[in-house]
Amino acid sequence: MSDSSVPAPLARVEHAILAIRDCKVILDSDLAKLYDVETKRLNEQVKRNAERFPADFVFQLTEAEKAEVVAKCDHLKRLKYSPYLPLAFTEHGAIMAASVLNSAKAIEASVYVVRAFIKMREALAAGDEIRRKLAQIERRLAGHDRDLVAVVNAIRQLTKPEALPKKRRIGFVDTDGPA
């Protein structure tokens, strides 16, 4: 961070949040930047306070996850050559990290981290609501399709020319047969 007195803007925090293992997380290097500490110092504090960081607060990426993150995120290219597997902090882990760092900057930045996670949760909830409404519309339209097919078939039946009744032949018809 260029100026340590300026808090991390919300957009920057949102950009740092990634989806890994069906969780929204921030990697240790991004969190360290937000909290204005070295990644090494952040990871040291996590190790010293391991009891505060259960598996649902922080987890270490696998080699495959690290490679995927490096491939997808331009700002994480520096991780490609790092011999260490990064730590991924969930929302609660990021807040806990701020508390163990115990610096004014970390506490101030943690507010932005929480707001970014809340904003993402709201966006996901809105997406769920949209998907629910779309499913409802699809069900309604499927019913309309069946009704429209029935109407079209009825119209076709009405517009078909009716078969004319067989006309009687004009003239004398011998019903007795040849005499």
**Which tokens hold the place of 60?**
């270490």
Reference 32, options 114, 92, 113; nearest CA is: 113
Q: Please check whether residue 89 is in contact with residue 28, taking contact to mean a CB–CB distance below 8 angstroms.
A: yes
Average confidence score pLDDT of the chain: 80
Domain ranges of the chain: 10-124
Lowest mean pLDDT among 86-90, 129-133, 159-163: 159-163
CA 38 to CA 21: how far, in whole Å? 25
Give the angle subtended at the CA of 152 by the CAs of 151 and 156, to the nearest 5°.
120
Question: CA-to-CA distance for 71 and 65, rounded, in angstroms?
Answer: 10
* Residue 7 pLDDT grade (very low, low, confident, very high; cuts 50, 70, 90): very low
- Its pTM stands at 0.57
DSSP per-residue codes, 91-143: HHHHHHHHHHHT-HHHHHHHHHHHHHHHHHHHHHHHHHHHHHHHHHHHHHHHH
Q: Across-strand partners of 17?
A: 26
24-28, 96-100, 107-111, 148-152: the lowest-pLDDT one:
107-111
pLDDT tens figures, 85-123? 999 998 888 888 888 887 777 777 777 777 777 777 777
Residue 127 pLDDT greater than 50, yes or no: yes
Q: What is the pLDDT of residues 71-88, one digit of tens each?
A: 888 777 778 778 889 999
Residue 23's H or E segment, with its range, is strand 23-27
